[in-house]
């Protein structure tokens, strides 16, 4: 047992009124024994002669004692709680000698000895040593036995259990389950609580109060907990920073009863507390007060008044409800000048007088993408004397399973395409190639099986949350760990300022089930590229295939636009833009056939393929392949795959013929467009715009005088004839029909030529993979699997914070300008220590974020069905899914992904027409990854680890941030000329300069880097992600520190209140609930030894941490 000797000694010497009983007792103690042999008696010890040069075995030695070694000593004893203190003598003022913790199972009355004392024995319940005591009389003995029995832990536990059962029968029990709101729900009322004149204890020490609010409706006999405030140490007049919201989901009525209980917290670590007093009132009694404020007496269990509690309430108005039926549901109504919040200066004794309502800005589609919110409310003291209202929310993302499921489906189809490439090779001549072919088949089928199993696990998951306790589970490894949106909304009425700040918290993007024996992705990729002994042709072949497939999709999209009989036919510049882009893509694609590896691969294929193949040659020798049925299904797949894959019996077309067909199809398309555009009067005078399309103009030069042997005069004659008969036609319908009928053959020919090119490049890719060394291909296969896992987590996280910013916030014109011109910053704040396993995690994250930079995002207006046009997306109740019209869609392949994100149409109203492409916004993320280790292993990493790679990555991220800053300044100057770019207190250029200095210093645990990066990224409208190994403990410290810094820098939080506000959010905020969701207990997984090595600002308050599961 661990104890503090000095504190126990002070406890034993307190005033006598603090003890249950005290008096004289005879304590039987073991005397310090004499070592003797077990077969000797006590009398033989002194009389036995000594023998020199003789040794006795330690087994034959024992401590001299037994019953004869116990000495009876009369001592002064005191009983307090379940501790019996005894002193060095029989005087009350003597010093304490020891304490007996009463874990009594039974008390035995012993026979009266000859000395006249009345003994009894305390039999301990848990097998400890029994303790014999004696009193001077029979009555004194019986009195001690009675009080000792009632003070034992067993008796007290039985008494507590009995009282709990009686209380449940009377009032139905108190439930401690906190009621959390729905996503996007706004509280009906918030209650600010303060106490005054709380009674001190017998020593004049003030209590450490904490208020807990319960409610009970008329339909229920159970008291349910609304929430609790923080604990304020040694204060008789506390003003609590935590406010307690009342939600409509609680079923609040006018006759709802509220009970406010004030506890005195004795010890925070063990949550030991005593009830000071309680007060009950109804909601209607509070509403009757004009100021929504009542001062109530606190009554203890004896019916005595022990102080007062003041409850002050204010209502909250959701601006989203008032604007839901307007034409612009995301208009920022509650901005600086329109902010309405009547609030008085905080006094030093009572909460502020809250007169009217608090206006909360709309949160858009937050209930569509997020669920299971946990909310906390605070009121912090401002430096100007007012209050800062703070709402803190933590929400789960519905995209947590949907995005990994889409990626797994895409990767399964991509693996099937790789199998089709191998099927197209047919049967090879030499046995080594045939054996490699079988091995490649088996490898791809094994991955298809693994991905299919993972897809089933993800789709069957009943929760949108993957706790950190399941981070080793391989079936859910594609889902991010502990993914939550941390939303922070603050408002300072004195400054007339408000703001919403989002930060995503998530575990490291890593493949923990794969282990870190060989390091992370960064190390694996470097070793893979360094081990190559020959020129790698697989990578350029794969890139060529991806470029060809992307061009094919571009052609298909252009065909849909050109054949659409809509307004695009009347927009000459739009047609020129589409055709010019089409020409550039097709010609760049044709140049791929001139690469040397293409000709080498086709020559190898011709020299090693069997010519006397049977009807199904590729399956002739597949008896060794266990998945033959799957291969057969892939070979005889749908007709869509035949357009882009050769069959085993097809002969590939020559490269020269493919280039010729592409050029001919472009010529035909240019000529037909020239004729059709000349036939439209509104486009006949647009020849000057041809200078902007040099590719189209050059094709027209080749076309003139060739197609149909028509001259310019004949074309003009056709135009005149068409104009003559224009009045007799239904112009719109007939022009559309002629447009489609004339362009369809040309576009079909272009599509067919492009598909033939894709077929050839896929065949080349299959040959290059067949020729690759088996160890190298196996390593590449394994690394790609790990890369898929990490990338899935990274993309899911990025999309979550992206939709939260675009769809769950008011429209930000500056953000839209940045999106359409420079992309958007994604700041990832890493708290990993690059030492041992976390070094591999950091390596995985670095590669995953680089892969994320290559993804193209496309914003499209959400298409809502007519039945939902008059309803808000938040009113659509979808407990386990996202409506299809709001779900992001992923297309493409691994190295060329495109994500289409449905957004509110109002986002496009803030953009100039030149900023979007055909009504769409395309952009990319610019990831900046700063990692600073903060735990106790940071010192070991600095001495024994390799910090150079981490430092280089941090500097590279700063370079990206600096480049983006220059683009940001240029765009803001062009589009918002009157805007002040720099805050006079915190210049953005000065912040970046200071950040560069801090990065160059290479300090250990330099958390200033994170603070400066947070400010810079938020100023430039960037996105924020904070992560550590499990996003639970270190992330909780980082998020609360960031929120407190925001209050200090943006909302004028009083400097003296900084530390108090920080500890309040850590002790009562949502991050403690995050730890409970992950490991079942609301304590951070730190111990005191670890915290000694932590930065001071990353240390939690006492009582909030302990040795729990990480």
Would residue 72 count as lying in a domain? yes
pLDDT at 1095: 93
Q: Please state, in angstroms and as integers, the Cα–Cα distance from residue 157 to each residue in 81, 145, 160, 161, 268, following that order.
A: 13, 18, 5, 6, 21
Would residue 465 count as lying in a domain? no
Q: What are 1053's strand-pairing partners?
A: 382
Query: Are the C-beta atoms of residues 378 and 346 closer than 8 Å to each other?
Result: no
CA distance 925 to 957: 13
Give me the residues of the chain with pLDDT under 70, please: 1-3, 16-17, 31-69, 114, 127-128, 168-180, 289-291, 317-358, 384-385, 428-431, 532-537, 561-574, 610-642, 676-740, 742, 864-880, 912-919, 981-985, 1107-1110
Q: Please state, in angstroms and as integers, the Cα–Cα distance from residue 373 to each residue in 577, 779, 798, 804, 1106, following that order.
A: 47, 43, 20, 14, 26
**206 and 137 fall within a common domain:** no
Q: Which of 127, 159, 191 is the endpoint of a domain?
A: 159
Buried b (16+ CB within 10 A) or exposed e, 231-259: bbeeebbbbbbbbbbbbeebebeeebbbb
**147 and 216 fall within a common domain:** no
Sequence-ordered strand ranges (E) for 399-517: 484-492, 497-507
CA distance 1091 to 1110: 15
For residue 203, give every residue at least 6 positions away whose Cβ sits within 8 Å of its Cβ, in sequence order, or none.
Answer: none
**356 and 207 fall within a common domain:** yes
Q: H helices within 474-563, ranges in order? A: 521-530, 538-563
**314 and 265 fall within a common domain:** yes
**261 and 370 fall within a common domain:** yes
**61 and 151 fall within a common domain:** yes
Q: Which of 103, 133, 159 is the endpoint of a domain?
A: 159
pLDDT at 630: 56
Would residue 865 count as lying in a domain? no
Q: Please state, in angstroms and as integers, the Cα–Cα distance from residue 479 to each residue in 96, 371, 400, 791, 795, following that order.
A: 60, 17, 6, 10, 10
**142 and 217 fall within a common domain:** no
CA distance 689 to 381: 63
**152 and 200 fall within a common domain:** no
CA distance 623 to 634: 17
pLDDT at 441: 85
Give the closest residue to 133 by CA, choosing from 117, 149, 146, 147.
117
> Domain with 258 in it: what CATH number?
2.60.40.150
Terminal CA-CA length for the chain: 25
For residue 130, give every residue at least 6 positions away whose Cβ sits within 8 Å of its Cβ, in sequence order, or none.
Answer: 121, 122, 123, 124
φ, ψ for residue 656 (rounded to 5)?
A: -65, -40
Give the closest residue to 485 by CA, choosing from 570, 422, 414, 396.
396
Q: How many domains does the chain have?
A: 3
Would residue 145 count as lying in a domain? yes
Q: Is 751 exposed, middle or buried (0-12, 13-18, 19+ CB in 10 A)?
A: middle
pLDDT digits (tens, 9 = 90+) for 257-302: 899 999 999 888 777 888 999 999 988 888 776 667 889 999 998 8
For residue 939, give every residue at least 6 positions away whose Cβ sits within 8 Å of its Cβ, in sequence order, or none.
Answer: 1004, 1093
Would residue 821 count as lying in a domain? no
Would residue 224 count as lying in a domain? yes
**155 and 203 fall within a common domain:** no
Q: What is the DSSP letter of 515?
A: -
Q: H helices within 832-884, ranges in order? A: 837-852
DSSP count for the chain of H helices, then E strands: 30, 29
**93 and 237 fall within a common domain:** no
CA distance 676 to 688: 17
Give the closest residue to 315 by CA, choosing from 295, 340, 279, 336.
340
For residue 708, give every residue at least 6 positions away whose Cβ sits within 8 Å of its Cβ, in sequence order, or none.
Answer: none
**pTM of the model as a whole:** 0.78
Q: Which of 378, 396, 414 is the endpoint of a domain?
A: 396
Would residue 745 count as lying in a domain? yes
**136 and 181 fall within a common domain:** no
**606 and 647 fall within a common domain:** yes
Query: Are the C-beta atoms of residues 1043 and 488 closer than 8 Å to each other?
Result: yes
pLDDT at 712: 34
pLDDT at 106: 83
Query: Are the C-beta atoms of residues 552 and 758 closer than 8 Å to each other?
Result: yes
> Domain with 34 in it: what CATH number?
2.30.29.30
Provide, for the chain, the percentages of residues in helix, strand and coil under a 3-state DSSP scheme, each rounded to the nearest 5: 45, 20, 30
The whole domain housing 295 covers 172-396
CA distance 814 to 396: 28
Residues shown for the chain:
1110
For residue 1095, give every residue at least 6 positions away whose Cβ sits within 8 Å of its Cβ, in sequence order, or none.
Answer: 934, 1005, 1007
Would residue 1095 count as lying in a domain? no
């Amino acid at each position: 047992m661990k104890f503090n000797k000095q504190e126990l000694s002070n406890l034993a010497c307190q005033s006598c009124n603090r003890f249950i009983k005290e008096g004289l007792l005879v304590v039987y103690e073991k005397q310090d024994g004499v070592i003797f042999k077990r077969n000797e008696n006590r009398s033989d010890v002194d009389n036995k002669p000594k023998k020199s040069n003789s040794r006795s075995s330690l087994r034959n030695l024992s401590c001299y004692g037994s019953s004869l070694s116990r000495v009876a000593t009369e001592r002064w004893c005191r009983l307090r709680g379940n501790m019996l203190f005894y002193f060095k003598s029989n005087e009350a003022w003597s010093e304490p000698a020891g304490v007996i913790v009463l874990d009594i199972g039974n008390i035995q009355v012993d026979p009266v000895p000859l000395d006249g004392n009345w003994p009894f024995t305390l039999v301990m319940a848990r097998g400890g040593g029994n303790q014999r005591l004696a009193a001077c009389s029979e009555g004194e003995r019986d009195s001690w036995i009675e009080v000792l029995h009632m003070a034992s832990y067993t008796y007290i536990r039985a008494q507590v259990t009995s009282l709990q059962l009686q209380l449940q029968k009377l009032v139905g029990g108190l439930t401690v389950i906190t009621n959390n709101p729905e996503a996007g729900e706004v509280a009906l009322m918030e209650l600010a609580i303060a106490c005054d004149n709380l009674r001190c204890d017998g020593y004049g020490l003030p209590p450490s109060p904490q208020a807990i609010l319960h409610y009970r409706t008329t339909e229920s006999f159970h008291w349910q907990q609304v929430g609790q405030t923080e604990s304020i140490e040694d204060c008789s007049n506390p003003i609590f920073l935590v406010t307690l919201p009342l939600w409509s989901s609680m079923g609040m009525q006018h006759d709802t009863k509220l009970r406010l209980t004030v506890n005195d917290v004795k010890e925070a670590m063990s949550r030991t507390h005593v009830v000071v007093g309680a007060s009950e009132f109804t909601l209607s009694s509070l509403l009757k007060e004009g100021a929504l404020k009542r001062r109530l007496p606190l009554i203890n269990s004896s019916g005595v008044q022990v102080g007062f509690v003041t409850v002050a309430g204010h209502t909250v108005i959701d601006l989203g409800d008032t604007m839901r039926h307007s034409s612009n549901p995301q208009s920022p109504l509650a901005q600086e000048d329109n902010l309405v919040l009547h609030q008085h200066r905080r006094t030093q004794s009572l909460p502020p007088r809250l007169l009217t309502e608090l206006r909360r800005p709309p949160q858009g589609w937050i209930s569509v993408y997020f669920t299971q919110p946990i909310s906390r409310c605070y009121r912090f003291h401002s430096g100007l004397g007012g209050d800062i209202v703070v709402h803190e929310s933590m929400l789960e993302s519905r995209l947590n399973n949907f995005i990994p499921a889409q990626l797994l489906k895409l990767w399964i189809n991509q693996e099937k395409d790789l199998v089709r490439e191998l099927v197209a090779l047919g049967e090879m001549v030499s046995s080594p190639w045939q054996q490699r072919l079988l091995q490649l088949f088996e490898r791809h089928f094994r991955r298809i099986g693994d991905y299919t199993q993972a897809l089933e696990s993800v789709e069957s998951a009943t929760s949108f949350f993957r706790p950190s306790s399941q981070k080793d589970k391989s079936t859910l490894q594609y889902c991010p760990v502990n993914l939550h949106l941390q939303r922070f909304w603050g408002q300072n009425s004195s400054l007339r300022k408000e703001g919403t700040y989002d930060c995503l918290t998530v575990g490291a993007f890593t493949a923990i089930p794969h282990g870190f024996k060989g390091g992370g992705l960064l190390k694996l990729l470097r070793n893979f590229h360094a081990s190559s002994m020959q020129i790698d042709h697989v990578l350029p072949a794969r890139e060529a295939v991806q470029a060809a497939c992307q061009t094919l999709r571009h052609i298909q999209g252009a065909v849909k636009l050109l054949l659409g009989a809509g307004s695009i036919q009347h927009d000459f510049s739009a047609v020129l833009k589409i055709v010019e882009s089409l020409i550039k893509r097709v010609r760049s694609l044709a140049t791929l056939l001139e690469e040397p590896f293409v000709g080498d691969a086709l020559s190898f294929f011709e020299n090693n393929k069997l010519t006397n193949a049977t009807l199904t040659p590729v399956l002739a020798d597949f008896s060794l392949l266990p998945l033959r049925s799957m291969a057969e299904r892939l070979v005889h797949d749908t007709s869509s795959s035949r357009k882009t894959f050769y069959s085993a019996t097809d002969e590939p077309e020559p490269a020269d013929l493919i280039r010729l067909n592409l050029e001919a199809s472009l010529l035909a398309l240019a000529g037909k467009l020239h004729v059709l555009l000349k036939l439209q009067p509104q486009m006949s005078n647009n020849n000057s715009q041809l200078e902007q399309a040099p590719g189209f103009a050059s094709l027209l030069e080749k076309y003139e005088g060739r197609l149909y042997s028509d001259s310019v005069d004949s074309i003009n004659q056709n135009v005149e004839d068409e104009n003559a008969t224009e009045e007799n036609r239904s112009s719109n319908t007939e022009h559309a029909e002629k447009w489609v009928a004339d362009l369809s053959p040309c576009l079909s020919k272009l599509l067919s030529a492009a598909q033939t090119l894709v077929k050839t490049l896929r065949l080349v890719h299959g040959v290059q993979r067949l020729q690759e060394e088996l160890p190298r291909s196996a390593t590449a296969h394994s690394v790609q699997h790990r890369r898929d896992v990490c990338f899935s987590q990274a993309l899911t996280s990025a999309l979550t914070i992206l939709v939260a910013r675009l769809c769950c916030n008011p429209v930000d014109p500056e953000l839209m300008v940045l999106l359409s011109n420079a992309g958007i910053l994604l700041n990832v704040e890493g708290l990993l220590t690059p030492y041992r396993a976390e070094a591999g995690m950091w390596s995985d994250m670095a590669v995953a974020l680089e892969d994320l930079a290559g993804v193209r995002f496309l914003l499209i207006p959400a298409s809502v069905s007519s039945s939902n046009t008059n309803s808000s997306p938040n009113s659509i109740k979808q407990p386990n899914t996202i409506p299809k019209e709001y779900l992001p869609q992923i297309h493409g392949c691994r190295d060329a992904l495109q994500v289409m994100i449905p957004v509110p149409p109002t986002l496009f109203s803030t953009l100039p027409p030149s900023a979007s492409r055909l009504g769409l916004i395309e952009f990319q993320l610019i990831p900046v990854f700063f990692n600073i280790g903060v735990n106790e292993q940071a010192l070991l990493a600095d001495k024994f680890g390799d910090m150079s790679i981490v430092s280089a990555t941090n500097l590279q991220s700063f370079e990206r941030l600096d480049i983006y800053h220059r683009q940001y300044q240029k765009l803001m100057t062009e589009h918002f000329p009157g805007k002040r770019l720099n805050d006079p207190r915190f210049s953005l250029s000065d912040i970046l300069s200071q950040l560069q200095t801090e990065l160059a210093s290479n300090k250990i645990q330099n958390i200033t880097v994170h603070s400066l990066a947070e400010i810079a990224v938020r100023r430039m409208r960037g996105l924020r992600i904070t992560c550590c190994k499990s996003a639970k403990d270190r992330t909780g410290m980082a998020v609360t520190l960031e929120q407190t810094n925001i209050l200090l820098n943006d909302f004028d939080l009083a400097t003296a209140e900084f530390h108090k506000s920080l500890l309040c959010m850590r002790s009562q905020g949502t991050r403690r609930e995050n730890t409970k969701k992950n490991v079942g207990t609301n304590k951070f997984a730190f111990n005191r030894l670890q915290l000694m090595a932590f930065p001071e600002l990353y240390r939690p308050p006492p009582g909030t941490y302990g040795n729990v599961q990480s």
